[in-house]
């Protein structure tokens, strides 16, 4: 019997263990602390622009994050709602206490999955780095396994930094993982130090909320998961506040006391989530910075001050907080801190997130140089799927850049690498018109069937939605709208002339037809019908209008994709001596040797690799086949 062990109980480990078990694999999740499974160490929220797309995608493949946030979310908002359906991003504030409890309960009740508390000390193989035998724990025991997914988060040689204080820790109050980090370095894997950080947590009663800008959630809230029946938790507002001149003066006067600017940090921090020190130093012309005041849980009185990530000493942190309007008497419950940790160059991974040279080993999450719960969860899901497929003698699941943001992320990591914590942005996806998050269930249905992590009833729900959408589209194509017909006056009311008539589909393509007019037209169709489980009329109307109005753009994009896909199907033999190929420049040979692309498509996406170099490489591959 084959067995899989997942090291780490964060968002990557949770997803890897959950999906592997749902695929029928005997799985053990090993974590330092069972009560910290699914812990939100930083901002207690899920989703956002780009990130929310990935949550919808992993949900469509059988992941847990969408269901967990729907069960425990206390503030839901759709970001970018006015900018078009392709870049809308769902986001939700979690009750972090309930999220963690729900995550553990989900895993404890998942068949084929066992939980084990302990610390991984190293991996054991039968012969060098071939024939994985198991995971050795610090207590000397061994968890036997045939494959392992390492999702170590910030724990590999982790250090917490506050001012000039440096504490060995994987997270505030928890020990680091030093033995496993040492083994991975000793195996010759290229590593680098990265850095992230958190904001201070405040006592709710010490804040004057009447002086803050209220940020209400959506009413009604829209679930993340395609399979959630609704949102059970009470919904609460968040608030917004801005830094002041006093805040900036205090930060600048104490930069030398910051871990970051005091020379105590060597790791590179996330570009798109800078500390408050970085904000004032790198954006000196910006008068103030927006901060989000977010409740951590309905079970506690802690407030998270998002946007004030800092490594300043506690006394400076208190001064910064009290310089904000409404925070003059604020009390810090937990100070913010920076954390430095080991990550490993993702160019050492194959396209399935397997580690080159280490048989039976997959990496997922911050160990690969990413930042964020959603990025970690997406990698964990794919690593778990591919570990199971490998154990069953199947090839890896590789999502294309045109299939999913998950595919964009993995391709970016294993093809281009990263020299700073990687965060998903919609701008990273060149095919984002076809990657709308609300269509993830339809887009990934064939992949979900192949993976086998969704239950038959869940697959049936997706298929029923697609069947109903198909009938709706067909009826729109078949309904003729004339000037004298029942919809003629509606069209003329928005300035459209129907002298010769047109199909309802053509009418809805016109930008003059707003949401209200579209609803009035669609209400006459049988397929529109009443709301039903999994059928949101407002959302379905938006999806239909998106499909009709952007059809020509998507068709053009599809034609461009055909040519690009050809390169992705040409594999570069693993024993190909790239560094000795004649006709290639030294720069190209060096980059091909370092990145070791698996296909010509990957090679073409490496910065600095020209189309001419790819064409020449294709020539040598074809010539080698003929010999």
Average pLDDT, the chain: 92
328 and 344 share one domain: no
Cα(400)–Cα(410) distance, rounded to whole angstroms?
Answer: 9
Cα(135)–Cα(142) distance, rounded to whole angstroms?
Answer: 5
Task: Provide the CATH number for the domain around residue 487.
Answer: 1.10.10.1800
Cα(56)–Cα(438) distance, rounded to whole angstroms?
Answer: 7
User: Could you write out the DSSP letters of every residue in 476-505?
Assistant: HHH-EE-TTSTTHHHHHHTT---SS-EEHH
Task: Provide the CATH number for the domain around residue 592.
Answer: 1.10.150.570
Residue with tokens 């002086």: 211
Q: Per residue in 322-332, pLDDT tens?
A: 999 999 999 99
pLDDT at 567 over 80: no
349 and 302 share one domain: no
Instruction: Compute the C-alpha angle 465/467/473, nearest 5°.
Output: 100
User: Could you write out the DSSP letters of every residue in 440-460?
Assistant: HHHHTHHHHHHH--S-HHHHH
**Comparing C-alpha atoms, which of 10, 11, 7 is closest to residue 374?**
11
* φ, ψ (nearest 5 deg) of residue 169: -165, 145
Decide if 383 is inside a domain: yes
User: Could you write out the DSSP letters of every residue in 208-227?
Assistant: -GGGSEEE---SSPPPSSTT
Quick count: other Cβ atoms within 10 Å of Cβ 81? Answer: 14
127 and 34 share one domain: yes
The answer to whether the CB of 244 falls within 8 A of the CB of 327 is no
Decide if 69 is inside a domain: yes
pLDDT of residue 492: 85
141 and 16 share one domain: yes
Tokens of 131: 């024939």
pLDDT at 615 over 90: no
Mean pLDDT to the nearest integer, 197-211? 97
354 and 328 share one domain: no
Cα(625)–Cα(627) distance, rounded to whole angstroms?
Answer: 6
30 and 87 share one domain: yes
Decide if 174 is inside a domain: yes
Residue with tokens 């895993």: 107
Tokens of 195: 């850095």
pLDDT of residue 494: 87
Tokens of 201: 């947590």
pLDDT of residue 627: 65
**Comparing C-alpha atoms, which of 308, 299, 350 is closest to residue 330?**
308
Decide if 208 is inside a domain: yes
Decide if 437 is inside a domain: yes
Cα(301)–Cα(297) distance, rounded to whole angstroms?
Answer: 7
pLDDT of residue 563: 65
284 and 362 share one domain: no
pLDDT at 73 over 90: yes
pLDDT at 100 over 70: yes
214 and 175 share one domain: no
The answer to whether the CB of 235 falls within 8 A of the CB of 249 is no
**Comparing C-alpha atoms, which of 552, 543, 561, 548 is closest to residue 407?**
561
Say how many domains are in the chain: 4
Mean pLDDT to the nearest integer, 94-108? 98
3-state helix, strand, coil in the chain (%, to 5): 40, 20, 40
Band of the pLDDT at 562, cuts 50, 70, 90? confident
Q: Is 398 left (phi over 0), alpha (psi -120 to 50) or beta?
A: beta
Write out 17-45 in H/E/C secondary structure. HHHHHHCCCEEEEEECCHHHCCCCCCCCE
Cα(530)–Cα(99) distance, rounded to whole angstroms?
Answer: 33
Domain C-terminal end among 451, 474, 491: 451
39 and 159 share one domain: yes
pLDDT at 265 over 90: no
Decide if 328 is inside a domain: yes
Q: Per residue in 398-442, pLDDT tens?
A: 999 999 999 999 999 999 999 899 999 888 888 888 899 999 999
Mean pLDDT to the nearest integer, 232-259? 96
125 and 273 share one domain: no
> Residue 151 has what DSSP assignment?
-
β-pairing verdict for 502-503 and 480-481: antiparallel
Q: Which domain holds residue 222?
A: 201-336
Cα(278)–Cα(273) distance, rounded to whole angstroms?
Answer: 10
Band of the pLDDT at 529, cuts 50, 70, 90? confident
Task: Provide the CATH number for the domain around residue 230.
Answer: 2.40.30.260
Band of the pLDDT at 264, cuts 50, 70, 90? confident
157 and 250 share one domain: no
The answer to whether the CB of 110 falls within 8 A of the CB of 18 is yes
Instruction: Compute the C-alpha angle 422/427/429, nearest 5°.
Output: 85
pLDDT of residue 299: 95
Cα(351)–Cα(599) distance, rounded to whole angstroms?
Answer: 10
Cα(617)–Cα(591) distance, rounded to whole angstroms?
Answer: 13
41 and 166 share one domain: yes
Decide if 482 is inside a domain: yes
Quick count: other Cβ atoms within 10 Å of Cβ 88? Answer: 20
pLDDT at 308 over 70: yes
* Cβ-Cβ contacts under 8 Å for 56 (sequence gap 6 or more): 66, 90, 224, 226, 437, 438, 440, 441
Mean pLDDT to the nearest integer, 274-295? 92
Mean pLDDT to the nearest integer, 119-133? 97
pLDDT at 94 over 90: yes
Decide if 423 is inside a domain: yes
Task: Please tell me the total number of residues recorded for the chain in this structure.
Answer: 627
Q: Per residue in 363-409, pLDDT tens?
A: 999 999 999 999 999 999 999 999 999 999 999 999 999 999 999 99
Q: Is 196 left (phi over 0), alpha (psi -120 to 50) or beta?
A: beta
Q: Per residue in 45-72, pLDDT tens?
A: 999 999 999 999 999 999 999 999 999 9
pLDDT of residue 557: 76
Cα(395)–Cα(383) distance, rounded to whole angstroms?
Answer: 13
pLDDT at 188 over 80: yes
pLDDT of residue 355: 98
pLDDT at 583 over 80: no
Domain C-terminal end among 451, 479, 500: 451
pLDDT at 463 over 90: yes
Domain C-terminal end among 451, 481, 510: 451
Task: Provide the CATH number for the domain around residue 431.
Answer: 3.50.50.60
């Amino acid at each position: 019997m084959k067995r899989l062990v997942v090291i780490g109980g964060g968002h990557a480990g949770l997803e890897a263990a959950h999906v592997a078990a749902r695929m029928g694999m005997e799985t053990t999740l090993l974590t330092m602390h069972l009560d910290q499974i699914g812990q939100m160490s930083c901002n207690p929220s899920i989703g956002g622009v780009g990130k929310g797309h990935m949550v919808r995608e992993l949900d469509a493949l059988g992941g847990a994050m969408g269901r967990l946030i729907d069960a425990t979310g206390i503030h839901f908002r759709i970001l970018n709602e006015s900018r078009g359906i392709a870049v809308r991003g769902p986001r939700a504030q979690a009750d972090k206490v309930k999220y963690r409890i729900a995550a553990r309960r989900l895993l404890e009740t998942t068949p084929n999955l066992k939980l084990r508390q302990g610390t991984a000390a190293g991996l054991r193989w039968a012969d060098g780095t071939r024939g994985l035998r198991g995971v050795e724990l610090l207590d000397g025991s061994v968890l036997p396994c045939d494959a392992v997914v390492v999702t170590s988060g910030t724990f590999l040689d982790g250090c917490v930094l506050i001012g000039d204080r440096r504490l060995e820790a994987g997270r505030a109050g928890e020990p680091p993982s030093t033995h496993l980090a040492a083994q991975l370095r000793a195996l010759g894997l290229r590593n680098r130090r990265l850095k992230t950080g958190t904001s201070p947590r405040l006592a709710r009663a010490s804040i004057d909320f009447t002086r803050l800008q209220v940020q209400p959630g959506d009413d009604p809230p829209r679930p993340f998961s395609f399979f959630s029946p609704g949102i059970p938790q009470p919904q609460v507002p968040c608030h917004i506040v801005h830094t002041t001149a006093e805040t900036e003066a205090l930060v600048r006067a104490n930069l030398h006391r910051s871990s970051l600017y005091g020379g105590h940090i060597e790791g590179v921090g996330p570009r798109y989530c800078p500390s408050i020190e970085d904000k004032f130093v790198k954006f000196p012309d910006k008068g103030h910075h927006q901060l989000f005041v977010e409740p951590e849980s309905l079970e506690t009185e802690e407030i998270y001050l998002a946007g004030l990530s800092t490594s300043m000493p506690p006394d400076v942190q208190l001064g910064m907080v009290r310089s904000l309007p409404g925070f003059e008497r604020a009390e810090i419950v937990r100070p913010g801190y920076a954390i430095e940790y080991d990550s490993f160059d993702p160019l050492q991974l194959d396209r399935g997130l397997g580690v080159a040279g280490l048989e039976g080993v997959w990496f997922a999450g911050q160990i690969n140089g990413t930042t964020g719960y959603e990025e970690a969860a997406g990698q964990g899901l794919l690593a778990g799927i591919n570990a199971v497929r490998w154990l069953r003698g199947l090839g890896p699941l590789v999502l294309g850049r045109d299939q999913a943001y998950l595919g964009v992320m993995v391709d970016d990591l294993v093809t281009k690498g990263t020299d700073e914590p990687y965060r998903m942005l919609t701008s990273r996806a060149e095919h984002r018109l076809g990657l709308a998050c609300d269509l993830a269930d339809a887009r990934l249905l064939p992949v979900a069937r192949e993976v086998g992590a969704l239950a038959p009833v869940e697959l049936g729900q997706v298929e029923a939605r697609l069947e109903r959408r198909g009938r709706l589209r067909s009826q729109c194509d078949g309904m003729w709208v004339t000037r004298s017909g029942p919809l003629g006056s509606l069209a003329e009311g928005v300035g459209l002339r129907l002298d010769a008539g047109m199909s309802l589909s053509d009418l809805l393509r016109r930008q003059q037809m707003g949401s209200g007019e579209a609803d009035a037209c669609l209400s006459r169709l049988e397929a529109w019908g009443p709301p039903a489980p999994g059928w949101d009329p407002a959302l379905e109307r938006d999806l239909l209008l998106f499909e009709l109005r952007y059809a020509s753009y998507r068709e053009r994009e599809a034609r461009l994709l055909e040519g690009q896909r050809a390169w992705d199907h040409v594999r570069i033999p693993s024993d190909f001596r790239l560094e000795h190929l004649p006709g290639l420049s030294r720069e190209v040979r060096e980059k091909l040797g370092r990145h070791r692309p698996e296909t010509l498509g990957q090679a073409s996406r490496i910065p600095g690799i020209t189309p001419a170099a790819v064409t020449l490489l294709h020539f040598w591959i074809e010539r080698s086949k003929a010999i």
